[in-house]
Chains A and B, each alone.
Chain A
Amino acid sequence: MVRLITHNLLACHVRGCTSNNFPLVFKDVQLQLKEAEYNPDFLRGFMPKLEWKALVDTAKSLNNQSLPDQAPEPQAANEEFLKILHHVLLEIHVEEGAMLCPNCSHVYPISNGIPNMLLQEHEL
């Protein structure tokens, strides 16, 4: 778990950390690839909500260069592109490691695929 679709929705939420707090940077990760169900409608519906550059950069940081730098319009997206997007968003799982805030350097550890995004008292 911690798929890139979820990663694309999560920003650092430490108090006062409001700029440059997204995307979180993966660190010391262990990856797993798991097959997921392909649903083009789901992908098209979700595309407008994605931060594309963050997704491309994060995928690259996990050694996946398959995404184009510019996203096509959801309705113009062809099958070939959607299959790639499907793989990147839903089939790459970060099982162990951490996510690091590029701004305040808060570390969100991931264990058994579940990220711990709780904050400590001084961060609330």
Chain B
Amino acid sequence: MGKRYLLHYAIAHPEFRFPELQSISELFDFNVGLPEEEEERDPNRHFLIVELEDEAHARTIAKRCILIRAVYELWATATTYGELHQEMRLNQDLWKPFSTETFCFDVTASNHKIPDARQKDIIEDFAYMAYTGDIRIKGATNVLTYLEEYPRKNIVRSKSEGDRNFQRAYFGRLIEKGGCRELVYKFDVKQRAYYGNTTMEAEMSLLMANQALAAPGKLIYDPFVGTGSMLYTAAHFGAMVLGSDIDGRQMRGKRLTTPGIIQSASQYGVAHRILDCCTFDITRNPFRTGGILDAIVSDPPYGVRAGAKRLGRAKERPTQVPPEGTEYTISYPRMPYELSELTIDLILLARHLLRPGGRLVWFLPTVTEEYQDVDIPDCEGMELVANSEQNFGKWGRRLITMRKASSDDFPYPSFNAATRHAELGGKGTPSATSGHKDFREKYFARFPSTKKIVKEGKPLG
């Protein structure tokens, strides 16, 4: 049996917490024991107690999970102060081994500030531990940490109001501070050499890299690369990355020398991992074979700021062949690419291009009110791993993680409206009224409520 560890989380993106933890444990191949009680797994709380077999796993979690502030080895936890000390006395085996090493105390709380006077009392209450090592404020071997968790209050109040009315208290030894919170600043879009108006925010692009299991030796592809946000973070974690886009201007940027994507990649020191960026349309892509990629990570254009386009003509008209002798006319006809069609094509393409076990990670925008779980197309050979919503009110976007669960070779998709649904081969076909169909039109109509229409209509029966 392993030991208990306390994960201190940043309260951001609650729905991404467990998928991320699961991805990192899968990537580094270890088990995470989660608490059984629903309440203890509430992702809106700052703390999560997990069971791990090895301290190294705790360090890995701290180093790689974007949402983690710190990881502690948990020595005692209780809902009252007295019980915490009782448990401490029972758990001597856990804390005795460190008694001669240098140490310091850290007393802190979430959603709260413990008054200075009580902080001192708390430290003195642990005198029975009888640690004989030197006290070092900086650079101590062990940082003994006492944490109090208070419920979140959305009213203005003094920082110390309601002192002692904590939900739960924890005591333990700091294993490691979260290494990735700093990355959120490192990859801050505003500090980036090159970005565009639809560039993905830093924290989300880091979470996506984790969902894609980015690591050295892997090949990761973004078929809607745009200004390259997903490439930098995946490359930061060691993966080799490829990008393509129907619009080469996004990748190149204004300057005609070094492409914009390479400028930003150089800023992050990962330019050597950007294998290539190519201009092509995924529905007319030049990949010679499938089964080559470890992951596909993408934020497809959903038609609000950047309209999705594919090659072709929206309206039938006689095909124009350039006159004999002229080589380039540089005219590439484009037509709109409806989001629900694009979604299915992306899954089918991923099934073709991924290696067995490879992952597809992408954002699906949905109208909150209309979203149903069946909106995620059910595709033979692809298995849903995670589905996390980032809610913006009337609409949201869902980070979908899928895994190629089959070792078969799947054919190149047809990208054709007539056969698209049949190719999925899933049990259920996506409903025509999915929460992302015609997303662009719904967005600009400010998401008219479908429920309201029913209410105003004739009463049923």
User: Do B279 and A116 touch across chains, with their CB atoms under 8 A apart?
Assistant: yes
User: Do B319 and A9 touch across chains, with their CB atoms under 8 A apart?
Assistant: no
Inter-chain CA distance A5–B242, complex, in Å, is 11
User: Do A121 and B313 touch across chains, with their CB atoms under 8 A apart?
Assistant: yes
- Interface: A36 (CB within 8 A): yes
User: Do B327 and A116 touch across chains, with their CB atoms under 8 A apart?
Assistant: no
In the complex, the chain B residue whose C-beta lies closest to that of A101 is B286
How many A residues touch the partner, as a band?
Answer: 35 or more
Which one of A3, A34, A118 contacts B280 once the chains associate, using CB atoms below 8 Å?
A118
Given contacts A9-B289, A10-B287, contact A118 B311 (CB under 8 A): yes
**Which A residues touch B217, using CB under 8 A?**
39, 41-42, 45
User: Do A117 and B279 touch across chains, with their CB atoms under 8 A apart?
Assistant: yes
7 CB < 8 A contacts A-B: A10-B287, A13-B284, A42-B217, A113-B259, A114-B277, A122-B320, A124-B284
- Interface: B312 (CB within 8 A): yes
A-B contact count (CB 8 A): 109
**Which B residues touch A121, using CB under 8 A?**
313, 319-320, 331-333
In the complex, the chain A residue whose C-beta lies closest to that of B333 is A121
Which one of B252, B259, B278, B319 contacts A122 once the chains associate, using CB atoms below 8 Å?
B319
User: Do B291 and A117 touch across chains, with their CB atoms under 8 A apart?
Assistant: no
- Which residues of A (5-58) have their CB < 8 Å from a CB of B? 5-6, 8-13, 22, 34-37, 39, 41-42, 45-46, 49, 51
Q: Which residues of A contact B (CB under 8 A)?
A: 1-3, 5-6, 8-13, 22, 34-37, 39, 41-42, 45-46, 49, 51, 90, 107, 109, 112-122, 124
Which one of B246, B256, B259, B277 contacts A118 once the chains associate, using CB atoms below 8 Å?
B246
> Per-position contact with A for B257-269: 1 when CB-CB < 8 Å, else 0?
1110010000000
**Which A residues touch B46, using CB under 8 A?**
none
- Which residues of B (421-442) have their CB < 8 Å from a CB of A? none
- Interface: B78 (CB within 8 A): no
A113-B259, A118-B284 are known; give 19 further A-B pairs, CB within 8 A: A1-B259, A1-B274, A3-B275, A6-B275, A10-B286, A11-B286, A35-B272, A39-B217, A42-B240, A46-B219, A107-B327, A117-B278, A118-B281, A119-B311, A120-B331, A120-B332, A121-B313, A122-B319, A122-B321
- Interface: B52 (CB within 8 A): no
- Interface: B35 (CB within 8 A): no
Tell me the smallest distance from the CB of B298 to a CB of chain A, in Å: 18
**Which A residues touch B291, using CB under 8 A?**
49
- Interface: B251 (CB within 8 A): yes
Tell me the smallest distance from the CB of A122 to a CB of chain B, in Å: 5
Which one of B216, B272, B285, B312 contacts A36 once the chains associate, using CB atoms below 8 Å?
B272
In the complex, the chain B residue whose C-beta lies closest to that of A110 is B278
In the complex, the chain A residue whose C-beta lies closest to that of B317 is A121
User: Do A39 and B216 touch across chains, with their CB atoms under 8 A apart?
Assistant: yes
In the complex, the chain A residue whose C-beta lies closest to that of B279 is A116
User: Do A6 and B319 touch across chains, with their CB atoms under 8 A apart?
Assistant: no
Q: Which residues of B contact A (CB under 8 A)?
A: 216-219, 240, 242, 246, 248, 251-252, 256-259, 262, 272-281, 284-289, 291-292, 311-313, 319-322, 327-329, 331-333
**Which A residues touch B246, using CB under 8 A?**
118
Tell me the smallest distance from the CB of A62 to a CB of chain B, in Å: 16
Tell me the smallest distance from the CB of A72 to a CB of chain B, in Å: 19
Given contacts A9-B287, A114-B251, A114-B259, contact A124 B312 (CB under 8 A): yes
User: Do B276 and A6 touch across chains, with their CB atoms under 8 A apart?
Assistant: yes
Given contacts A120-B322, A120-B331, contact A6 B289 (CB under 8 A): no
Central interface residue in B242, B273, B275, by most chain A CB within 10 Å? B275
User: Do B276 and A2 touch across chains, with their CB atoms under 8 A apart?
Assistant: yes
Given contacts A49-B289, A120-B322, contact A112 B275 (CB under 8 A): no
Inter-chain CA distance A108–B215, complex, in Å, is 32
Inter-chain CA distance A4–B452, complex, in Å, is 57
In the complex, the chain A residue whose C-beta lies closest to that of B313 is A121
Tell me the smallest distance from the CB of B283 to a CB of chain A, in Å: 9
Inter-chain CA distance A116–B247, complex, in Å, is 10
Inter-chain CA distance A37–B218, complex, in Å, is 13
Tell me the smallest distance from the CB of B449 to a CB of chain A, in Å: 40
**Which B residues touch A3, using CB under 8 A?**
275-276
**Which A residues touch B273, using CB under 8 A?**
37
Tell me the smallest distance from the CB of A81 to a CB of chain B, in Å: 18
Tell me the smallest distance from the CB of A42 to a CB of chain B, in Å: 4
